[in-house]
C-alpha cells in the first residue's frame, strides 16, 4: 500500500477575528483546510494510517497530521470541529483536552519540506489543471511506494510559484473540470485504489 502525503498551503488563513459561528469568513477559509485534512486522513469509519496531511499556513507555520499519532475515536469528524480544535492548537489553548494535541509543528517551510521528502524517496506531484492527465500517468504513479501530492489553493499562487517551478516536479491534472481541494484529495485516493 502506498504511503501518501498531501501537502496543502494557504496564504489567506487569518485567525484574528475567528469565531466558530462563521468559520468561513472569520478565518479566511480555514474550513477549506479542515475539509482537506478530513479527506486526507479519514476513510468511512477509520483512519488511512498510510496517509498524512501537511498543512502550511503563511501566518502560523506548518503542521503535520499523522494518523499514527492521532486517536480516531476522539478525532473531530466534521470541518467545524476540526477548525475549532485547530485554532485552539495554534493559539495554545486547552492543550491537554485538544484531540489534535499530537499534531506536530514543523520547523521547515513548505519548499524545504518538499525537498526533504524527495530526498527521503517520495515521488512528488503538483496538482494543476494544466498538468499531464492523471489517468495517463496512473500506472507509473501507482508503482511508487511513497507519494507526495502538492495541492494548490484557490489562487494557485503556490503551485505556480518560482520556488515550486525550480523543483522541476511533474504537474498532473484530474481533468478540465475545476474541483475543490478536498475533492481532489478524495479523487486521488479513489483512483489509486483502482
Domain positions in the chain = 13-48+69-105
Grid-cell match 486521488, residue found: 188
**pLDDT score, position 193:** 80
CA–CA gap between residue 56 and residue 60 (Å, rounded): 8
Average pLDDT, integer, range 87-108: 96
Alpha-carbon distances of 127 from 73, 96, 153, rounded to whole Å? 31, 36, 10
- This prediction's pTM: 0.94
pLDDT at residue 19 is higher than 60: yes
Distance CA 7, CA 30 (A): 15
* In the predicted structure, residue 98 carries a pLDDT above the cut 70: yes
Average pLDDT on 10-25 reads 92
β-pairing, 170-173 vs 146-151, is: unpaired
Is pLDDT at 80 greater than 90 in this prediction? yes
Q: What does the pLDDT look like over 131-189, one tens digit per residue?
A: 899 989 898 898 999 999 998 765 567 777 788 888 989 899 888 787 888 999 999 99
Average pLDDT, the chain: 91
Question: Are β-strands 123-133 and 170-173 bridged in parallel, bridged antiparallel, or unpaired?
Answer: parallel
Amino acid at each position: 500500500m502506498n504511503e501518501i502525503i498531501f501537502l496543502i498551503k494557504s496564504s489567506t488563513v487569518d485567525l484574528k477575528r475567528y469565531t466558530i459561528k462563521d468559520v468561513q469568513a472569520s478565518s479566511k477559509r480555514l474550513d477549506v483546510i479542515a475539509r482537506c485534512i478530513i479527506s486526507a486522513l479519514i476513510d468511512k469509519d477509520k483512519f488511512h494510517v498510510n496517509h498524512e496531511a501537511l498543512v502550511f499556513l503563511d501566518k502560523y507555520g506548518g503542521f503535520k497530521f499523522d494518523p499514527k499519532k492521532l486517536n480516531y475515536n476522539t478525532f473531530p469528524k466534521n470541518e467545524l470541529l476540526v477548525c475549532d480544535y485547530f485554532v485552539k492548537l495554534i493559539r495554545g489553548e486547552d492543550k491537554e483536552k485538544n484531540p489534535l494535541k499530537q499534531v506536530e509543528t514543523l520547523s521547515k517551510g513548505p519548499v524545504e519540506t518538499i525537498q526533504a521528502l524527495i530526498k527521503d524517496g517520495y515521488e512528488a506531484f503538483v496538482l494543476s489543471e494544466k498538468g499531464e492527465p492523471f489517468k495517463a500517468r496512473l500506472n507509473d504513479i501507482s508503482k511508487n511506494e511513497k507519494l507526495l501530492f502538492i495541492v494548490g489553493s484557490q489562487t494557485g499562487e503556490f503551485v505556480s510559484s518560482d520556488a515550486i517551478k525550480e523543483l522541476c516536479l511533474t504537474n498532473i491534472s484530474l481533468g478540465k473540470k475545476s474541483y475543490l481541494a478536498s475533492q481532489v484529495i478524495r479523487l486521488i485516493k479513489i483512483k489509486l485504489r483502482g
